[in-house]
Each structure stands twice: as structure tokens, then as C-alpha cells.
Amino acid sequence: MGISPIRRNTLAVSTPAHQRDLTNGPVAKTLFVFALPSLGVNILQSLNHSVNSVWIGQFLGEEALAASANAGLIMFLMFSTLFGFTMATTILIGQNMGRRDIESVRRIMGTAFGIFFVAGVVFAAAGWIFAPHMLRLMATSESVYPLALSYLRVIFLTMPATFVMILISSSLRGVGDSVTPFWNTVLNVVLDIILNPIFILGWGPIPAMGIAGSALATILAGVVSLGLLLRKVYALDLTIRLRGDELKWLRPDPRYLKPIARMGLPMGLSMIIMSGSAVVMIGLVNLEGVNTTAAFGVMNQLWSYVQMPAVAVGAAVSAMVAQNIGANKWDRVSHIVWSGIGINLLMSGVLIAMMTYFASPLLGLFLPNDSPAIPLAIHINHIVGWSFVLMGVSVVVTFAVRANGAVVAPLLILIFSAVLVRFSVGFGLYDRFGADAIWSSFIATSIASCILSIAYYLHGGWKKAKAMPSMAAVPLQAMPE
């Protein structure tokens, strides 16, 4: 006789101090507090990249800095693909956490952990072998190539640990804990910043390793922080941990693997499309000369901070919506989405206003005070800057509908807005309006994306989508191990 399905939902589990129940309490306050640590993670990661670039540039020179930039492009593409599968796992964990189906949460975690670790090993081996070919495809200059190859190959060795750490951090957010990933990121960033100059220049018995030392510092920081994160997961008996017989769930289960792949592929593809669209537009910017390219490059650095609230709030909305869908509390879903939009409008609006008001001193951090690129950058920001408010709305709404497994429509909206609309305006009007056609293409993209995303949220069929059917009603004896 089958075991009662009720048992699946009544597994004993303690509620850690940092884990929030996202299905109860005031929506706006819960969302804001839950999103803040994720915003902190984004800021810390950007600062870490900037500081490491300073170490490399100051100690090793322009060629080493160019080498790390070339390697960074390859890694960004790789993590863009990983992003989709990470988000899919978080959504599935969130929905089952909303149902209080702790066993399914752990089964999903086991399947994802097994796949992510194996994928990390495969990527590390393939990256080590094919790194020369990837750099050649990017037309890396001969003076930079040896440094880029050394850096990239060492960085590839971090893949197993990095993939697993990203998975654990994202899964913790799925169960309502955004604080633990934040403190783990603080540790990772501090270690990486401290170890970089030590391994680049050498210290005591540690030899000077140059740019390979920077990569090795990243490996050590990642391994140490991952080890301590795993220790915390088990020491505090966090919800996603696997013990005893549960360890057999590390063998991927097709019932959980299929929805991860079904949602992960379109979401990963969306990141690749966004990156590819930006690269194509940079080619058009380059036609305007070095000053325009420098101005646009610096503004991109500043705009990256403006976009951080949207990404953090969007991720929080996704986890919160997923849990409430799992708990069948659809009345809260709409409140969550509109609260997320409001919070993002406020945060992004303040950042854009501050960036516009303090444009000159901010640009002076990157460019000489008499640089002709500064007035160009100010002009670009006046045209494009406000559009990030609209883009933030699109991000929040897209994260929300994905939380129910609706991933194809957001991908089609992205293709239409970031490819068809952007290229039509940018290339189609370039001969007549020059650089202003390029900046206008970003505005057109934001407007199209915002309108279509809201229209799909209000009138589309995303509520009928299913990230994954509930496994709570399936008797355990009917489930193959």
C-alpha cells in the first residue's frame, strides 16, 4: 500500500533566522527587505571586478588589463547561459517551498547540484583545452594572447566550485533566505581583493605569478567561501541541505531535470541575445570615433549601477511570486508585482537623478577633466538615462511571469525589442541622424519592451503556465529512485 502523500509536506525542518516566509506579512516591506541583500551582492561583485582590474592595471600594465577583459567576455557568455538554469531551479524551489513540500525542494536541489557540479567539471576541462581557440576567435592581439591564455585557463579551473556556489546562493533565495548569500559574497569579495596583490606580486614564500596569480586568488577565494557556505548550510540545518538517504537525490531525476531544462534554455538564451545585441551596437558606436566610444563605455559603467536595483528587485519578485503561486495565494501575486515596480521606479529614479546631477564629477573619475568625451557622455546620458526606468519595469514584470514557468513569451518580446526594434532604429536612421540614432535605439527598445511586457502580464496567458506540477499528491512508492 502506498505511503500517504501528506508525509511529503510534513518533513521536519527548522526555520533558520534569516529565512523569510514570503507568503505572509506585508508585501511591500517584505519584498524590499528581501531584495536589499541581493542588491548588496550585485554591488559587491561589481566593485570586486573593478578593484581587481585596478590591481591588474596598476601592477601589470595595459596588456594584462586587456587580457583580463578578453577573458572576462568569455566568462560572461558562459555565466549568461548558466543564469537561465539557476533561475529555473530557484523558481521550482520557490513554488515547492510555497507548498511547504520540503521533500520536493530537496529533490530539486539534489538534481540541480548533481548537474551543476558535473557541468562545472566539463566546462573546466573543455575551457582548458579550447581556451586558445576561443581567444583566436575573438581576434585577441598577439601581445595580449599569452597573458589572456594564462589567466583564462586558471579561471576555468574555478568552474566546479563557482557553479555550485551560484546554485546554492540562488536556491537559498528560493526558500526565502537572501541574507546568507550576501554574507558569503562579502567573504568572497574581501578574500579576492586581499589575495590578488599577494599572488600577483608575491609575498613571503609565495612567488610573484603575475596575471595567473590574480586568477589563482579568485580560485582560492571561491573555494574557501564555498567551503564555509556549505559548512553553514549543514551547521544551521538550512532547508536545502541533504543528509543520509537524501544524498541519493544527487542523481538527477528526469521529473525535475525536464522543467529545469525547459525553463533554463530560453532564459539563458535571453541573456545571450541581450549581450549579442549590445556587442552589435558597440560596433556602430565605434564608427563615431574613439571619444564617442570612450564616452559610451564610461556611461555603461555608470549605468550598470542604475540597473542593479531592477535585477535585485526582479529576483526578489521572482522568488516571492513563486512561493505565493505554490501556496495558491494568487491575490498576493498582483500586489507583489506592482510593489516591485514601485520600489524599482523609486530606486532607479533616484540613482538616475543623482547620476545626471553629478555627471561631471562622476565622469571625472574615469576621464581627464578636459577630455572631449565628457560632454559627449553627458549628452548620451541625457538622451538614454531615463529609459532605464522603463527597462526596470520590464525586468520586474518578466521575472514575475517567469516565476510561473512562462518563459517563451518574454524571450519573443526580448527578440522583438532588443533586436528588431533596436537594429531598425539604430541602423535604419543612422545615415540621417548619426550617433543620435544609436541612442534613440536604446530608448525605442525600452519603450517597446515595457509596453509589451505589461501587456503580456495583464492580458497574456502566463497564469495558465506551469513551472512544474505539484509532486505532493504522488505516493512515494510510485516514485522511482
To 10 degrees, the CA torsion angle through 126, 129, 134, 137? Answer: -130
Task: Give residue 326's domain range.
Answer: 262-463
Last residue in a domain, options 222, 252, 282: 252
94 and 234 together in one domain? yes
Asked if residue 320 has pLDDT above 60, the reply is yes
User: What's the average model confidence in pLDDT over 418-442?
Assistant: 92
Average pLDDT over residues 134-159: 80
- Residue 272: per-residue pLDDT: 86
CB atoms closer than 10 angstroms to residue 220: 15
* In a domain? residue 22: no
Q: Flag whether 471 is in a domain.
A: no
Same domain, yes or no: 187 and 326: no
Q: What pLDDT, on the 0 to 100 scale, is given for residue 396?
A: 96
pLDDT of residue 1: 34
Last residue of a domain, one of 197, 217, 252: 252
pLDDT at 16: 61
Q: How far is CA 438 from the centre of its chain?
A: 26
Q: Is the pLDDT of residue 450 over 50?
A: yes
CB 438 within 8 A of CB 426: yes
Q: Is the pLDDT of residue 248 over 80?
A: yes
CA distances, 234 to each of 12, 178, 182, 355 (Å): 15, 17, 18, 43
245 plus 271 within the same structural domain: no
pLDDT value at 56 more than 90: no
pLDDT of residue 470: 60
Distance, CA of 92 to CA of 80 (rounded, Å): 19
Given this model, what pLDDT does residue 2 score? 38
Burial class (CB in 10 A: 0-12, 13-18, 19+), 261: middle
Dist CA 253 CA 185 (whole Å): 30
Residue whose C-alpha is closest to residue 328's, from 95, 90, 13: 95
Domain membership flag for residue 14: no
Residue 212's CB is within 10 A of a number of other CB atoms, namely 17
Q: Into how many domains does the chain fold?
A: 2
- pLDDT confidence bin for 479, thresholds 50/70/90: very low
What is the arithmetic mean of pLDDT over 352-376? Answer: 85
On whether both 359 and 227 belong to a single domain, the answer is no
Q: What is the DSSP string of 278-318?
A: HHHHHHHHHTT-HHHHHHHHHHHHHHHHHHHHHHHHHHHHH
Amino acid identity for residue 24 in this structure:
N
Q: Is the domain of 354 the same as that of 296?
A: yes
Cα distance between residue 127 and residue 113, in whole Å: 21
Q: What is the pLDDT of residues 94-139, one digit of tens each?
A: 999 998 899 999 999 999 999 999 999 998 898 889 888 887 876 7
Percent pLDDT > 70 in the chain is 91
pLDDT tens string 64-97 = 766 777 677 677 777 777 888 999 999 999 999 9
Position 315 in a domain: yes
Q: Is residue 470 part of a domain?
A: no
For 430-440, what is the mean pLDDT?
90
Among residues 159, 223, 152, the alpha carbon closest in space to that of 192 is found at: 223
What pLDDT is stored for residue 17 in this prediction? Answer: 61
The answer to whether residue 228 scores a pLDDT higher than 90 is yes
Are 328 and 219 contained in the same domain? no
At 18 the pLDDT is 72
Q: Are residues 54 and 93 in the same domain?
A: yes
Q: Burial letters for 352-375: b for 16+ Cβ neighbours within 10 Å, e otherwise?
A: beebeeebeebbeebbeeebebbe
**The pLDDT of residue 184 is above 90:** yes
Which residues, other chains included, contact 4 with Cβ-Cβ below 8 Å and sequence gap of 6+? 475
Domain boundary residue among 201, 230, 252? Answer: 252
Specify whether 142 is located in the same domain as 291. Answer: no
Are 174 and 97 spatial neighbours (Cβ–Cβ below 8 Å)? yes
The answer on 124 and 92 residing in a single domain is yes
pLDDT of residue 31: 93
Report the pLDDT value the prediction gives residue 334, as an integer from 0 to 100: 93
pLDDT score at 4: 37
Asked whether residue 215 falls in the same domain as residue 358, the answer is no
- Mark out the alpha helices in 327-466 (DSSP H runs): 330-357, 359-364, 373-384, 387-402, 408-414, 422-428, 430-433, 435-459
Query: Is 475 a domain residue?
Result: no
Q: Is the pLDDT of residue 397 over 80?
A: yes
- 149 and 90 within one domain: yes
Among 203-207, 214-218, 457-461, 474-478, the range scoring the smallest mean pLDDT is 474-478
Same structural domain, 283 and 244? no
Tell whether the model's pLDDT for residue 62 goes beyond 70: no
* Residue 476 forms part of a structural domain: no
User: How many other CB atoms are found less than 10 A from the CB of residue 217?
Assistant: 24
C-alpha dist (Å) from residue 445 to 73, 216, 298, 408, 472: 23, 40, 21, 18, 42
pLDDT, greater one: 147 or 342:
342
Cβ atoms of 475 and 2 within 8 Å: the answer is yes
- In tens, the pLDDT along 290-305 reads 788 888 878 887 888 8
Domain presence at residue 442: yes
